[in-house]
Amino acid sequence: MWINVWKRCPVLRWHNIDFIRHSSHLSMSEYIPACPPPKPEEVQKLQDFLLRSQRLFVMTGAGISTESGIPDYRSEGVGLYARTERRPIQHAEFVRSQAARKRYWARNFVGWPQFSSHQPNPTHLALANWENTGKLHWLVTQNVDALHAKARQRRMTELHGCTHRVICLGCHTVIKRSELQEKFLALNPSWNEQAYGVAPDGDVFLTDEQVSHFRVPSCDKCGGILKPQVTFFGDTVSREVVYSLYERLSEADALLIVGSSLQVYSGYRFALKAQEKCIPIAILNIGATRADHLSIVKVNARCGDVLPKLMAVDQEQQEIGV
């Protein structure tokens, strides 16, 4: 069954784009791998781990955002790699190919209203509350969806950037992604295409023929190439960002990894650095991770089934002076 979401999105309705999705997309559970209930003894170990920490460093991945309805790449059976032959754009391809940029931005343009509307779930809110109560020293996320920022997380670094910002590769001017959407609308007043499915980075599925007439603006200041302010596959995180996070980690007394398999080295490196500095590691994730052998606590469960409840227990025990 196909669903027309014309009436659900004013931006798309005004622009005359018929954005259609499969009905199963309406269920957030579509993107969450099957997982048994958490084992009470594992949850208790994680609670004890957190109670011992006074300056907690947290790293999050795509597994925290699947519960907000955003698919990931690698989850077994439900990730983008398992469901399709689709692969994310490479940095070098985006930079060198005008056709690749046109394809990327056309897909992103159609998917943006839905992608940008996703909201934080109880796990994002719990982590923001940990910051407010002084439990959380710093958070680094591998996600580019801005959900931690929407949850009002402040002591935070977006390791791979954020799709809600756009940067000029020429003069490095940064604008809001919402501003670029208005430019797309002005340049493509009669562009009318259909799309199916949303990818983790917010774009959708379109054919080359569909995007052939889509127009992409250049930077207003210098005429340069506009790119999401995110680290595409094949690119690297800046050395300055990595070193600043190493400093934050060295100030912490524990590392908690939430919703990440750590298959990408840019995240895994922080588990290695924690081991090097003898900082204990705990992991909350569905399935195996690259750092399981480094952790002293591992909970195999959905983030939302465990972490918000740990927050509640922790606060209650602090109130009674435990």
Write out the E strands in 98-183: 136-141, 156-158, 161-168, 174-176
Record the tokens describing residue 62, joined without a space.
């795509």
Give the model confidence (pLDDT) of 200-221 as tens digits: 555 566 667 778 889 999 999 9
- What distance lies between CA 176 and its chain's CA centroid? 17
- Locate CATH 3.40.50.1220 in the chain: 35-70+121-160+238-322
Tell me whether strands 156-158 and 56-60 are parallel, antiparallel or unpaired: unpaired
- Annotated binding-site ranges for NAD(+): 61-81, 142-145, 259-261, 285-287, 303
What is the structure's pLDDT at 114? 85
Instruction: Report the C-alpha gap between 257 and 310 in whole angstroms.
Output: 14
What is the structure's pLDDT at 210? 75
Closest by Cα among 38, 191, 41 to 105 = 191
What is the structure's pLDDT at 318? 54
Q: Do residues 56 and 254 make contact, with C-beta atoms less than 8 angstroms apart?
A: yes
Largest CA distance in the chain: 65
Record the tokens describing residue 100, joined without a space.
């690749």
Give the model confidence (pLDDT) of 249-302 as tens digits: 999 999 999 999 998 899 999 999 999 999 999 999 999 999 999 999 999 999
Query: Over the chain (322 residues), what is each successive 10-residue block's mean pLDDT?
Result: 30 35 43 82 96 96 90 50 59 94 90 90 96 96 96 97 97 97 92 60 66 91 97 91 98 97 93 98 95 97 94 53 50
Q: Which residue has the tokens 């959905």?
A: 302
Give me the catalytic one of 15, 137, 160, 164.
160
Instruction: Report the C-alpha gap between 306 and 100 in whole angstroms.
Output: 41
Tell me whether strands 254-258 and 281-284 are parallel, antiparallel or unpaired: parallel
Q: Do residues 79 and 72 make contact, with C-beta atoms less than 8 angstroms apart?
A: yes
Q: In what order do the strands lie in the sheet with 56-60?
A: 156-158, 136-141, 56-60, 254-258, 281-284, 297-299
Fold that domain 35-70+121-160+238-322 belongs to in CATH: Rossmann fold (3.40.50)
Whole-structure pTM value: 0.83
- Annotated binding-site ranges: 61-81, 142-145, 168, 171, 219, 222, 259-261, 285-287, 303
Which residue type is seen at 33? P
What is the structure's pLDDT at 279? 98
Determine whether 172 is an active site residue.
no
